């Protein structure tokens, strides 16, 4: 009986490993916060096929350009893959154009307006009023364990895991409100949850 359970457990681990190897995730992002969060989630879910490529300080258009280059490279290889692009609205003049290009190329888009800190706030509470980047960073510092934009822009994994469902629900609610107002990518909105949901489906 003990041997059968051990064998079954080993087979399950092998199946999970094979599943994660079958589908590659290439993630291009502009910040340390997103990189660390996604890498820790992937590790906790046993996903060995998640590649996070941080391009610190790059504009959304540059992030999408790099993703397009990776897409052309992957086309020549076999296997399933998804490319994700993550960037903030901030004050980037090319934000809307980058969104359109990313969607036209079939990328999973995880934008945030004004910034990724909005999604992290949604782990804890609602945020329905307009908020700028500095306000979001300041608020997150008050409510999220250990976070500080200047000295430690890192999210606590346990807090993230506990708040994932709430953050997704609140993010989707913001999207509905924004669409109804005629400004689907307005402030505050975020699609960072889409990247996380894509990874979670491959567990």
Classified as helix, coil or strand, 73 is helix
> C-alpha angle with apex 113: 172 to 108, nearest 5 degrees?
60
Report domain extents, the chain: 17-201
- HEC profile of 5-36: HHHHHHHHHHHHHHHHHHEEEEEEECCHHHHH
For 68-85, what is each residue's pLDDT tens digit? 999 999 988 878 999 999
Rg (CA), the chain: 18
| Contact criterion met (CB below 8 Å) for 16 and 203 | yes
**pLDDT at 56 (0 to 100):** 78
List pLDDT tens digits, range 148-173: 999 999 999 999 999 999 999 999 99
Find the angle CA(29)-CA(30)-CA(33) to the nearest 5 degrees: 85
Q: Where are the beta strands (DSSP E) in 30-168?
A: 50-54, 80-86, 108-109, 112-113
Is residue 25 a contact partner of residue 81, using CB atoms and an 8 Å limit?
yes
Look at residue 95 in the predicted model and tell me its pLDDT.
Answer: 92
Q: Encode pLDDT of 29-64 as tens digits.
A: 998 999 999 999 999 999 999 999 988 778 999 999
Query: Is residue 133 a contact partner of residue 194, using CB atoms and an 8 Å limit?
Result: no
pTM of the full structure: 0.87
202 and 47 Cβ atoms separated by less than 8 Å: yes
| Percent residues over pLDDT 70 in the chain | 89
């Amino acid at each position: 009986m003990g041997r059968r359970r051990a064998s079954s457990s080993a087979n399950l681990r092998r199946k999970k490993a094979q599943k994660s190897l079958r589908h590659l995730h290439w993630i291009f992002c502009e910040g340390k916060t997103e990189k660390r969060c996604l890498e820790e989630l992937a590790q906790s879910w046993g996903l060995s096929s998640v590649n996070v490529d941080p391009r610190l300080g790059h504009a959304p258009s540059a992030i999408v350009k790099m993703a397009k280059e990776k897409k052309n490279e992957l086309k020549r290889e076999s296997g399933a893959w998804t490319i994700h692009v993550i960037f903030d609205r901030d004050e980037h003049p090319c934000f809307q154009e980058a969104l359109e290009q990313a969607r036209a190329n079939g990328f999973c888009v995880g934008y945030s307006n004004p910034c990724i800190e909005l999604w992290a706030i949604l782990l804890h509470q609602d945020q329905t009023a307009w908020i700028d980047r500095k306000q979001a960073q300041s608020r997150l510092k008050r409510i999220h364990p250990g976070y500080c934009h200047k000295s430690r822009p890192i999210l606590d994994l346990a807090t993230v895991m506990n708040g994932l469902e709430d953050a997704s629900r609140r993010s989707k609610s913001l999207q509905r409100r924004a669409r109804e107002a005629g400004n689907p990518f307005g402030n505050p909105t975020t699609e960072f949850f889409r990247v996380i949901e894509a990874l979670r489906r491959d567990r």
